[in-house]
Amino acid sequence: MLRVMVLVSGGGTNLQAIIDAVAAGNITNARLVGVLSNNRTVKSLERARNAGIPAVCVSPKDFADRAAFNEALLAKVDEFEPDLIVLAGFLVAIPQAMVHKYSNRIINIHPSLIPSFCGVGYYGLKVHEKALERGVKVTGATVHFVTEGMDEGPIIAQKAVEVCEGDTPEILQRRVMEQAEWILLPKAIDDIANGRICVKEGYVVSC
């Protein structure tokens, strides 16, 4: 059983998609062992508790500086002994110490087709604002492993989503979630849990 821990910052619709996929048997060989948020008030923690998953908060506000927060974050994650860490809308830069310790064991969902609209400053609604500003006709989502560089790790899966006339960032965000994110992320977890994919020489391959 793969021990999966999910890190969140917001509403947690991706977290819910994972919880539902486990319940429906669409993710097998995996157990959700914990949910961590950097924000005490988010709905994600409620979603986790409703599903009987231990939910904790590690907030930067409770620490003197970033280094102390990073240390506490890693210590809390370690307590759950995860085999896989899933960043499901986690808006905190992952400490390098965590990236190294959990090398090839952290995955992230990004709401664009990487390498478009990604990297520093591209998070949440901003990604969709930039896509609309640029006038792209197709956008999408990407699941990738987390490495040192932001949004630069090996790509696990991508799915394209059409941009429609009259889209607002909010409308586009919702469509990308429904048509791509909520499908890709649970599937990636299931693929990892069942040993269908692995990283070889910096690329994701079937194994």
Per CB under 6 A, residues contacting ligand GRF are 8, 10-14, 88-89, 109-111, 123-124, 177, 181
Compute the residue count for the chain: 207
Q: Which of 100, 110, 128, 144 is catalytic?
A: 110
In the complex, minimum distance from the CB of residue 182 to ligand GRF, in angstroms, rounded to a whole number? 8
What is the residue type of 26?
N
Specify the residue, 10 or 60, whose C-beta has the smaller distance to ligand GRF: 10
Secondary structure (DSSP) of 149-207:
STT-SPEEEEEEEE--TT--HHHHHHHHIIIIIHHHHHHHHHHHHTT-EEEETTEEEE-
* 128 part of the active site: no
Residues 64, 121 contacting (CB under 8 angstroms): no
Specify the residue, 155 or 198, whose C-beta has the smaller distance to ligand GRF: 155
In the complex, minimum distance from the CB of residue 204 to ligand GRF, in angstroms, rounded to a whole number? 18
In the complex, minimum distance from the CB of residue 201 to ligand GRF, in angstroms, rounded to a whole number? 27
Specify the residue, 151 or 190, whose C-beta has the smaller distance to ligand GRF: 151
Residues ≥6 apart with Cβ < 8 Å to 148: 96, 99
Closest-by-Cβ residue to ligand GRF is 89
In the complex, minimum distance from the CB of residue 10 to ligand GRF, in angstroms, rounded to a whole number? 4
Tokens for 155, please give them: 């790509």
Which residue from 158, 160, 154 is spatially nearest to 185, judged by alpha carbons? 158
In the complex, minimum distance from the CB of residue 152 to ligand GRF, in angstroms, rounded to a whole number? 15
Secondary structure (DSSP) of 86-136:
EESS--SPPPHHHHHHTTT-EEEEESS-TTSS-STT--THHHHHHHHHHT-
Residues annotated catalytic, as ranges = 110
